[in-house]
Amino acid sequence: MADIIIGSGPSGVSAAKALLDRGRDVLMVDAGKTLEPEHMAQRDEMAAQPPQGWDKTRRDAYQQGQFETPDGQARRYGSDFAMEPADATLSGEHGWFGLRSSRAGGGLSNLWGGAVLPYRQQDIADWPVNITQLAPHYAAVAGFMPVSGAKDGLCDLLPGIEMAGRSPVPPGPQARNLLERLSKKSNRLALDGIHFGAARQAVDGDCKACGMCLHGCPWGYIYSSQRTLSELKSHPRFTYRPNAVALSFFENSTGVDVALEGGETLRGEHLFIGAGVLETARIMLASDPSGTREMTLMDSQHAFVPMLHRWRSTPRPDALPYTTLPQIFVEIDAPDVSPNLVHAQFYTWNEHFARDLIANYGFGLGITKPVLNAVARRLIVAQVFLHSQHSSRINLRLSGDGKLIPTLQPNPQTPVVLKSARQNLSRAMGRVGMTTLGFATRLGPAGSSFHVGGSVPMSANPVAGQSDTLGRPLGLSRVHLVDGSVLPSIPATTITFSVMANAHRIAASAP
């Protein structure tokens, strides 16, 4: 019998790679939604010409779908294929909840910003697995996923992966200027616990800096696990079953049965669930292996902190070439703020800035559109993430219709730590010619960072509701959870790279 993997997102393909390397047969079960033909045709039409050949009409048409995205959703290529609407997954009152699931081939990696960092040992001190054990699996993942970046000031702080020989995606003029200014003040900033460097991104070195990152890269240079899935399909021991939604499972002494939507049952030697934390919770609650009626998610809450730079940017930041993924990472390592790192990703100019300014601060204050466009060209936004220790939690129950009912557990530490982190960041950025617009700080809804997990956390000595170091929930021996559901806590730094490394570790060591 083959091992069954549920889900083709980053954790699913990472587990598949490890299992195939061990000589195991793999059956991947996946809803497998794909980009619609009309959107694919528009993407391919853009990719057929260099960015300099796109006229304004074509650029505007390509971007319009993202500007029309419903609240709480994210799109690429004008399509909703990669993210399920809230009502498809959630029941009850859920307007406050920002997390969404995916049933696409490649999962939510079709939408992510490509930011990758390893964790720091101090920030996973409560895990039964350490950075040394994860290190070879970070390296294995970096062997099939591109990792751009530079050997810089972040390497000593976050040494989980070797950066020598790598190159960053060339920064735009604002990011280049900011990095230079930060470098000149690096010794003084270090006294405030500020460490910085070029963003580590899962982006190919062939990036054309066309500025379409947040709309859908026409050439697919931003990594999606669809890429690895395509490679896996050519492996003789790998079988892919799309259009198959897993509902529940049942383990016995000889294997695991997986019930699919539509009534079919599949049997496997072992089961590896990497469906994303919401879908995995739904499957676990529906399977009810240990009488579990409720699960609790940990969140890494985030906020957007806008800043204006006081220097003149030449050339203009909205003139090609430029990218709109995060270009600089700043880590706050300050015990008076948090015992854990606070992570900030810096975004320079993109088309959303001016639209947000006009919508939120514009005509009601009598400010003209040209003025706001000029302000937008000086705007840099830091997306600040907190450790789960300082973030809310979300309880999940299964409703009668098979959907999840979320309930919020606010954390009173969140606004306190966020304010302290913002003040620390504001002081640091003030030293390099930036003014923080503290009044415009916006806290993201619970779950909206998508840095969420820990519903069945790993433990060296698991009890009910926990899993062992191989992601096996208490009482199960053939079922392994391999996505963010098993993380014992959620550090502030980026989550996907570590989820992939942990999934690879589990699958490489599973019996």
- Tokens 């001190």, located at residue: 125
Model pLDDT for residues 298-307, shown as the tens digit of each residue: 999 999 999 9
pLDDT at residue 372, as a whole number = 73
Whether the upstream peptide bond of residue 315 has omega within 30° of 0, thus cis, is: yes
Is the distance from CB of 11 to CB of 108 less than 8 angstroms? no
Is the distance from CB of 470 to CB of 510 less than 8 angstroms? yes
| Beta-bridge mates of residue 295 | 396
Tokens of 23: 């000589």
Three-state SS at 409: strand
Q: How far apart are CA 231 and CA 145, in angstroms?
A: 12
37: domain CATH number? 3.50.50.60
pLDDT at residue 368, as a whole number = 64
Work out the burial of residue 162: count CB atoms within 10 Å of its CB; fewer than 13 is exposed, 13-18 middle, 19 or more buried: middle
Max Cα–Cα distance, the chain, nearest Å:
71
Is the distance from CB of 17 to CB of 503 less than 8 angstroms? no
Three-state SS at 284: helix
pTM of the model: 0.96
**Residue 458 sits in which domain range?**
3-509
For the chain, which ranges sit under pLDDT 50?
A: 363-364
Looking at the chain, how many residues does it have? 511
- Residue 343 is which amino acid? H
Q: How would you classify the pairing of strands 379-385 and 393-398?
A: unpaired
Could you say which DSSP state residue 122 is in? G
Determine how many CB atoms are found less than 10 A away from the CB of residue 183: 14
Q: How far apart are CA 464 and CA 292, in angstroms?
A: 8
Model pLDDT for residues 320-350, shown as the tens digit of each residue: 999 999 999 999 999 999 999 999 999 998 8
Determine how many CB atoms are found less than 10 A away from the CB of residue 438: 13
Which of 189, 201, 80 is closest to 142 using CA atoms?
201
Contacts with 433 (C-beta within 8 Å, 6 or more apart), sequence order: 181, 309, 310, 311
pLDDT at residue 451, as a whole number = 98
Number of domains in the chain: 1
pLDDT at residue 488, as a whole number = 98
Could you say which DSSP state residue 265 is in? E
For residue 94, what are the CA distances in angstroms to 75, 91, 212, 303, 400?
A: 20, 7, 31, 20, 16
pLDDT at residue 412, as a whole number = 97
Tokens of 36: 């619609």
Where do runs of H (alpha helix) occur along 105-161? 131-144, 154-157
pLDDT at residue 353, as a whole number = 80
